[in-house]
Structure 1
Amino acid sequence: MALSSQLSLSQETTQLPCYRPAKSIPFELREHCIIYFEEQLCKDNTLHQHCEHCVDRHDADSQALALLTNLLVAGTSLCTDSRLIPAHVPPPPQLALVATLVVHPSLTTRTSSIEKQQASNDALRFLRHLNTLVGPVSARFSTAFAFTSTNTSRRNGRRPRGPEPDTSDGNDDEGIIHAEIANAGSLWARAEDFWHVVGWAFNCSVGWKNRWERWKLWLEFMLDALDDDLAECIQMRGKRSSGDKPTVGNGPLETSIIIQYLKGLGETRTGRRRLMRAIFADGGTKSLSEFKEVFANETKERKKKEEDQELTRPVKVDIDQGIFGDYLDQDDDDDSITMDVDQRTRSSTRLSALARGGSDVSLASETDFDRSTAKPETSDVGDSESFGGAEAVALRQRFISLLAKASSAFPAEFCDLEDLFDVYTEFIRPLPLPIFSTLVSPSTPYLDHHTHASLTQMLLRPLIASSAPKYDTNALRQADLEACYLPYAANSTGVADNAKVSLCVEALLRVLHRYAGLEPVASLATATETGIAARKKKASFDGRKTTGEKEAAEEYAKTVLDMSALRMTLFLETLRGGQPSVTHNR
C-alpha cells in the first residue's frame, strides 16, 4: 500500500518558535558550575581535604543549576521577534550531567534529602527552559544526549552510532566534570542505547511505580526535545531546498537526534522490532531480560527508618540570616514541578470540552476527562494498568507518532512508512483489546489523519475476512470504505477479533467524516448495517467455553463490539439529520 507523504509536508510548513541564539557561558562562570557539581558529587557527601573550594554539599547542585538557569533566562523579557538576545548555554558535558540528575536514584528514590530531591527537580526545570528558549539544535542536545556506552550493538556487531562532539571552539575538555555520575556512572554511559532506556522506563511503569514517577518526567522531556529537534531539521531541509539561508543551525540533517538513535539499530527489520519491544515493554520476564535496569540497584529504595528520621529532623529558623526552615518551601514531591502545569492542563481540557458542547460528531467513546476518571470496565490483565496506566499509554502513543514523523521525513535514513507500519501491525494487532482500542480509537488524536487512516487499514489487513476486496490506493474515499471495509466481519469467529475489526472501521468512519466529509447516502448506511450484522453473526459462532479471566475478557469484547455498533448506528442517524460540513467527492 502506498502511504501518504503529506505528514512530512505538514511538518515542513509548521512555524517554529522564535528561539534565542546560543552563546557559551564565560569561562569563569563555567568553572564555578563545575566546582559546584564536582563538590556535590563527592562520594558519600563527605568533605574532602583536597577540595580547594568546598561548600555545603547539601545544596551545591542546586546552586549550580540556579546559576545556569539565571544565565539562561537573563534578557528574555527584552527579546522581541525582531530582536533576540543570545542566551548563555552550558557545554554538552554539563547538559548530559543535568539530564542524568533528573532520574538518578541517589537524588530521587534512594534519598530522603529534600535538597537532593529539589536538585533533581531543578535539573528538569532547567532542561525544559533550555528547550523552550534556545531549542534543541542550538543547545547541542545531539552532542549532549549521545550514548557513550562501550557495549557493542547486539544487532549489527558495531557500536551504536551517535553524533560526534562539537569541538569547533578548539577545546575538547569544554565543561568536563570529573565525577563518576558525570562519566562512567551517567545515564548516557550506563545505558546501551536510547531504546534500552525507553524499554526500562516502561518496565518501571508496570513494576516500580516510584521509579516510573521520575522516568515519566524524563521521557516527557525527551519526547518534547526529539519532536522539536525533528521539526527544526525538517525546516532546515525546506529552507535549503528553496535556496534560503537556514535560520537555525548549519549541521547536516543527519544530526537529528531521533535519526541518530534509530541508526544505532541498523537498517533491518530486526532493529525496528527491538524499538517496538521497547515501546511496548510490559514488565514481563522477556521484557525485563532485554531491558534491564539502567543504574545499579536502581529499584532498591531508601529504608523507612531513614525517611522517618529525615521527616522528623529539627527545622532551623534564623530570621536575621534569612533562614526560614520549611515555612516557605514548595511541595518537594518528585513530580511537584509539573503539578501546576498538569492542573492548568486539566482545567483547560474540561473548559474546552464544555465549550464544544458536543457540536462535533465524534465516534470516540469517551473524552480525556472521562478516561482519566473512569474505573476500568474489566479486571482483565489487558487493561491500561497492565501497560503502566493512562500516562504510560499516552507516552507510548507519542513514540508511535514520533517514529511515523521521522519515517515520513527521512525514509532513506530510517525506513519508509509502509515498512514501519508493517512492524506496527505486528505488535499492535495482538495487543489486548483495551490497549488496541486506545491506539486505534484514541480520545485525543496522536497521529496525522492521513497516517491514522493508513495505519488503521494496515491493521485491518490480517484481521478482515478474506472475501473483502484488496485495497491498495493512496487516498481512502467514501466509496472505497463502503466497498472494502464497512460490510465485512473478521476472518475468525473470535469475539475479540470481530471487535477489533469494528473499532478499525469505526475509526475510518471518523477520520473520513472529520477531514473529508461523508455523504449521508443509502449505500453508506447499508454497508455499515451489513457489517454490524456480519460481525455479530460471526462472533456468535465461537462456541468455545471459557472460564475465569478468559470469560471476563470475552464478555468485555462482546461489550466493545456492541458499543462500537451502537456508536456507528447513532453516527448514521446524526449524519442523516444534517448535511456534512464538507461535500465529499465520491
Structure 2
Amino acid sequence: MAASSPLTDLDGASTPASFHTAANSPNTTADTTNITSPDHDDDRKQTYYKTKDIPHVLKQSCQIHLEEQMYLPAIELLGSLLSDAGERQQPDKPVRVPPPAQISLLANLSIHPAYTSRAPEQTNLDIAAESREYLRTLLNKVGPINADFRSAFSFRQGQNSGRWARRNSREFNSPGESDGGGSLDSFDTADNIDSKWSGNDHSIWRRSSDFWTVLGWAFRCSTTHPHRWVHWKAWLEFMIECLEKDWEERLAQDEANFQAELSNGCSESGSQPKCLYPLLQQSLLVQYIDDLRRDRKRVLHEVVRALLAFADDENTADNTYYREVFNKETVLHTDKSNKRKHSQMAAVDLENDQFGDYLDDWDDPVSSDDDKTKSFATPGLSSVRTSRRSRGRSTTAKSTPFSRPGRAFDVSPTTSPNPFRITDGLADSIPLRLRLFRLISACAFYLSSDILCKTQDLYDLFTSRLKSLPLPCFELFMSLDHVSDNGLPRFIYVSLLRYLAQSFTPRSAPQPEDVDPETDAENGISQTMLRECFLPFPAKTVVVEDNAKFSLVLENMAWCLFQSGSVDYFDGLKWAVDKGIEEREKKVKKGGNKGGGGGGVAGMTAEKMGREVLERSAASLRAFVTVVEAASLVDVVMDEEEDGDSITVGSP
C-alpha cells in the first residue's frame, strides 16, 4: 500500500502545530470519504527571547559553583537571569544564557540516580528538581535553538571528559557558519566543567552511545523498575518537548525563508521550486538519527526498536540489548540507621588533616566499584543474597569508564513480568512513544529518504512491530484517547489504522484502491471502504489474538469515522458488522486453542484474553451501528422540522 496524501504527496509546507499540514494546499473539510485532512492553525507559533552569553565574571562564578558541587547557588544565579528577563517585558532585549557545558551538566543531574532514585539526602532531590525546572524555563523562554540544546545534549561516548569533540557523521556547519542554533565546533575549552558528573563515569552524554539506547532503557524501566521510571518519565517529557520545539522552530524558519526567496524571485527556473529544509537537517532529532549512522547501525530498525522497547516474555531480546545507563542504576539507597559508637569512631586530628569519618561519601553519593554495597538495597533480592553476591564478586567485578554495569548489579527481576499485566508505567509510556513516532514520521515526510527512510517503510515496520505486541499492549496503542492536538494527530492515527487493517485483511477482500480510489489516494478511510474492504472479514490467520487485534482496529476505524461526522446509517452497514463478527467467531473456532501465546498456561491465558477482547469489541461494533442509526434518525427529524419551518437549525 502506498503512503500518500498527508504523508508523501503534499507540497512540503507545514505548520508547527501538525508537522504534516499542507499550509499552501486547499483546506478540504471532512466529508464521507476523507477524514485525514489536518487542521490549520497558524496562530500557535511561539516567539522566544533573543540571547547573549553570560558575562565572563558570572560565567566563571557559575562554573566554580558547579565544579565545587554547589549546585543550588549556581542554579539560583542562572535562574535569576531568566526571571529578570520575564520581569522586564522587553522581548527585544537579549536574555543571558549559560554555555552548553553548564546546560549539559544540569540535564545530567536531573536524571542521575545519585540525585533522584538513590539520593542520600533531600538536598540531592532538590538539586535534580531545580535543574529540571530551570531547563524547562530556559526552553520556554529562549527556545532550543537560542539555548543551543543541540550542542548541550549531544552524546559523546568514549571521549575525554575535558574535551568536546567534533562530530563528522554528516555535513555539519563549516567553521564560522551558523545553522541557526550554534555549532558543535564553537565550544570554548575554557567552558568545560572539571567535575566527575561531566566525565565518562557519570555523565549520561558519555555513558550512552546515542539517544535511542537511553530511550530503550527508559521504556524498559516503565515495566520493570517503577522507582526509576518516575524520574525517566520526567526526563523524557522534557527531552521530547525539546525535540518537538526544536523541530517546530526550524520548520517555521525554513518555510519563512523559502517563501521570502519565492517572493524575491530567486527561483527563475521553469520547474516548481521545492523547499529543501536546510535548518531541519541540523535539528536535534536529525543529530540523534545521525548518531546511529555514525555507528553503522540500521537506522530505521534501531529507532522503531527503541520506540517499542518492552521488558516481557514476548520481547526478551530487549532485556539484554537495553542495559542500565548508569552504574548500579536500579539499586536503591538505604539510610544507615545504626549509629557508630564513640569507641568505633575514627580519630580526628585537624592539624594533621585527619577528619575521621566526617568526610566519608560527602561529595560522592555514588559508591565506588569497590563498595561492598552495605548501604544499598537491591529491589527483589534479599539482603543475605545481596551480601553473598557482593562478597563473591567484589574481587573480580571491576568496571571501566565506558563499560556497562556488571552483572552483579543488573537487578532485573528474578522472574519475567507477566506480559499480560499492564502496569501504570507502561500505560504512561504510550503517549511518549506516540509523540516520538509523530516526530519520526515528520522526519521521514519532510527530509530526503537518505536521512531516515521513506514514509511507507516507516509505517510498514512500525505497524509490523505493533502487530507482534501482546494484546493488552496493542490495545493501549489503539486507544482513541491518544488522538489530540498535543498527542497524535488524527491523520497519522488514521494512517496507522489503514496499515494495520490491510496487514490483517485476507487477500480475498476487495482492495481499497478499487473500492474508493479517491480516499485511498489520500491514505484515508471512508464509510464505503470500511463496509466493503474491512468490516465483513476475519483476520488472515485462525489465531484468536490476531482476530481480536483486527477487531480492535475495525472498532477504532468505525468510531473514528463517527467522530468526524463522516458516516451515515444504511442497511448494508449493519450487515457488514454482523457478517464480520460471525466470520471472526468461525475463524477462531476453526483454530481451536491457538491463542497466539504458545502452549501451556501462557497459551491458555492468551486465548482467554483474546476471546474476551473479541467479544467486547464485537459489542462495541454493534453499539456503533445503533448509535449511527439513532444519529441518522435525529438528522431526519431535524430536516423535516426545518422543511416545515417549525424549527430553524443554524450551522455551528
Q: Same fold (TM over 0.5)?
A: yes
Deviation of 1:298 after TM superposition, in Å, equals: 2.0
Question: What amino acid is the match of 1:172?
Answer: D
1:99 aligns with 2:107: yes
Residue 68 (structure 1) aligns with:
78
2:284: which partner in 1? 257
Instruction: Report the 3-state secondary structure (helix = DSSP H, G, I; strand = E; otherwise coil) of the residue aligned with 1:572.
Output: helix
- Alpha-carbon separation, structure 1, partners of 2:631 and 2:622: 15
Amino acid in structure 2 at the alignment position of 1:292: R
Q: Scaled by the length of structure 2, what TM-score is found?
A: 0.68
Report the counterpart of residue 25 of structure 1 in structure 2. Answer: 54
Q: Which amino acid aligns with 1:71?
A: L
Shift of 1:198: 0.5
* Cα-to-partner distance string for 1:418-467 (whole Å, 9 max, x where unaligned): 11011102211011111111112342314222221221121223322221
| Structure 1 position 3, deviation (Å) | 2.5
Relative to structure 1, is the Cα distance of residues 400 and 167 closer, same or farther in structure 2, using a 3 angstrom cutoff? Answer: closer
Listed as ranges, the matches of 1:286-305 within 5 Å are 286-305=317-336
5 Å-filtered alignment, 1:234-273, equals 234-243=251-260, 252-266=279-293, 270-273=298-301
Q: TM-score, normalised by structure 1?
A: 0.76
Per the alignment, in what secondary structure is the counterpart of residue 242 of structure 1? Answer: helix
Residue in 1 that maps onto 2:562: 513
Change in 2 beyond 3 A, CA 1:108/1:162: farther
Assess, with a 3 A threshold, how the Cα gap between structure 1 residues 271 and 580 changes in structure 2: closer, same or farther.
farther
Amino acid at match of 1:539: V
Q: Structure 2 counterpart of 1:31, which letter?
A: Q
TM-superposed CA distance for 1:402, in Å, is: 2.4
**Cα pair distance change 1:202/1:252, threshold 3 Å:** same
Kindly provide the CA deviation profile for residues 142-178 of structure 1, in whole angstroms up to 9, marking residues without a partner as x.
1111111139xxxxxx986696794699762363211
Superposition pairs of residues 528-539 of structure 1, within 5 angstroms? 528-539=577-588
Are residues 170 and 306 of structure 1, via their aligned partners in 2, closer, same or farther at CA, if it must alter by over 3 Å? same
Q: Please tell me whether the aligned partners of residues 485 and 505 of structure 1 are also in contact (alpha carbons under 8 angstroms).
A: yes
Aligned length: 483
Q: How does 1:10-21 map to 2 (within 5 A)?
A: 10-11=18-19, 14=42, 15-21=44-50
Which aligned pairs between 1:39-58 and structure 2 lie closer than 5 A?
Answer: 39-40=68-69
SS at match of 1:544: coil
Q: Relative to 1, partners in 2 of residues 1:503 and 1:227: Cα closer, same or farther, differing over 3 Å?
A: same
Residue of structure 1 in register with 2:248 after alignment: 231
Preserved contact between residue 517 and residue 582 of structure 1 (Cα < 8 Å): no
Q: How far is 1:244 from its partner?
A: 7.0
Q: Residue 449 of structure 1 contacts residue 515 of structure 1 at CA under 8 Å; is this kept in 2?
A: no
8 Å CA contact retained: 1:160, 1:193: no
1:425 equivalent among 463, 476, 493: 463
Q: Give a deviation string over 1:466-522, Cα, whole Å, max 9, x none.
A: 211233522332212211111110111111111111111112212222235112122
8 A Cα contact 1:161 1:264, kept in partner: no
User: Relative to structure 1, is the Cα distance of residues 577 and 132 closer, same or farther in structure 2, using a 3 angstrom cutoff?
Assistant: same
Structure 2 distance, partners of 1:471, 1:305, is: 67
The change in CA–CA distance for 1:171 and 1:95 in structure 2 (over 3 A counts) is closer
Q: CA deviation at 1:68?
A: 0.9
CA distance in 2, matches of 1:575, 1:558: 26
Distance 1:162 1:191, change over 3 A: farther
Deviates more, 1:27-36 or 1:275-284: 275-284
Q: Which residue of 1 aligns with 2:444?
A: 407
Instruction: Give ranges in structure 2 of 5+ residues lacking alignment.
Output: 22-40, 160-166, 174-180, 263-276, 341-416, 514-519, 637-652
Q: 1:38 to 1:458 in 2, by over 3 A?
A: same
Q: In structure 1, what is the equivalent of residue 353 of structure 2?
A: none
- Alignment-mate amino acid for residue 38 of structure 1: E
- Counterpart check, 1:500 vs 2:549: yes
Tell me the secondary structure at the aligned position of residue 88 of structure 1.
strand
Say if 1:171 and 1:497 are closer, same or farther in 2 by CA, change over 3 A: closer
Structure 1 unaligned runs (5+)?
41-59, 152-157, 310-378
Q: Map Cα deviations across residues 273-309 of structure 1 (whole Å, 9 max, x no partner).
A: 1222222222365223222212222223323426999
Aligned mates of 1:307, 1:257 — CA distance in 2: 49
Q: Structure 2 counterpart of 1:86, which letter?
A: P
1:190 is matched with: 207
Match of 2:132 among 98, 106, 124: 124
Q: What value does the CA root-mean-square deviation take over the aligned residues?
A: 3.1
Residue deviations 1:61-98, cap 9 Å, x none?
A: 01111111111121314427xx4442221111111111
Structural mapping, 1:308-319, within 5 Å: none
- Answer yes or no: is the 8 Å Cα contact 2:536–2:580 preserved in 1: yes
Q: Is 1:147–1:191's contact at 8 Å kept on the other side of the alignment? A: yes
2:517 is the alignment partner of 1:480: no
- Which amino acid counterpart does residue 500 of structure 1 have in structure 2? K
Instruction: State the structure with more CA Rg.
Output: 2
2:52 alignment partner, SS class: strand
Report matched runs for 1:135-146 at 5 Å: 135-146=143-154
1:21-64 Cα shifts (integer Å, max 9, x gaps): 12211111111110100001xxxxxxxxxxxxxxxxxxx10111
Aligned counterpart in structure 2 of residue 389 of structure 1, from 426, 432, 436? 426
**Cα shift readout 1:386-417 (whole Å, capped 9, x = no counterpart):** x9432123322222222223222324332222
Contact 1:73 1:87 in 2 (8 A): no
Partner Cα distance (2:108, 2:187) in 1: 23
CA distance in 1, matches of 2:88, 2:261: 28
User: Which of the residues 490, 504, 508 maps onto 1:449?
Assistant: 490
- The within-5 A match list for 1:130-209 is 130-150=138-158, 166=182, 172-173=188-189, 175-184=191-200, 185-209=202-226
Of 509, 516, 535 in structure 2, the residue corresponding to residue 468 of structure 1 is 509
2:65 pairs with one of 31, 36, 40: 36
Distance 2:58 2:339 in 1: 38
Q: 2:84 is aligned with what amino acid?
A: A
Separation in 1, partners of 2:490, 2:634: 17
In 2, Cα distance between the equivalents of 1:235 and 1:194?
25
Structure 2 vs 1, CA of residues 187 and 308 (structure 1 numbering), >3 Å: closer, same or farther? Answer: farther
**Aligned equivalents of 2:61 and 2:197: distance in 1?**
18
CA distance in 1, matches of 2:582, 2:566: 25
1:253-292 C-alpha deviation (Å, 9 max, x unpaired): 2121111111222399932112222222223652232222
Alpha-carbon separation, structure 1, partners of 2:198 and 2:466: 38
% identical equivalent positions? 30
Asked if structure 2 preserves the Cα contact closer than 8 Å seen for 1:437 and 1:503, the reply is yes
CA separation in 2, counterparts of 1:90 and 1:163? 23
Higher alpha-carbon deviation: 568-577 or 444-453 = 444-453
Q: State the AA in 2 paired with 1:441.
A: S
Q: Contact (CA 8 Å) 2:210, 2:292: kept in 1 or not?
A: no
- Corresponding residue for residue 6 of structure 2: 6
- Structure 2 distance, partners of 1:510, 1:142, is 41
> Compared with structure 1, are the counterparts of its residues 6 and 544 closer, same or farther at alpha carbon in structure 2 (3 Å cutoff)?
closer
Cα 1:391–1:170 shift into 2, 3 Å: closer
For 2:509 and 2:418, the matched residues in 1 are separated by 31
* Rounded Cα–Cα distance in structure 1 between residues aligned with 2:170 and 2:158: 11
Determine which of 597, 613, 622 is the counterpart of 1:560. Answer: 613
Equivalent residues of 1:517, 1:580 under 8 A apart: no
- Whether contact under 8 Å (2:478, 2:553) holds in the other structure is yes
Change (3 A) 1:191 1:168: closer
User: How far does residue 120 in structure 1 lie from its aligned partner after superposition?
Assistant: 0.8
Residues of 2 paired with 1:85 and 1:517: CA distance?
50
On the 8 A contact 2:4/2:521 being kept in 1, the answer is yes
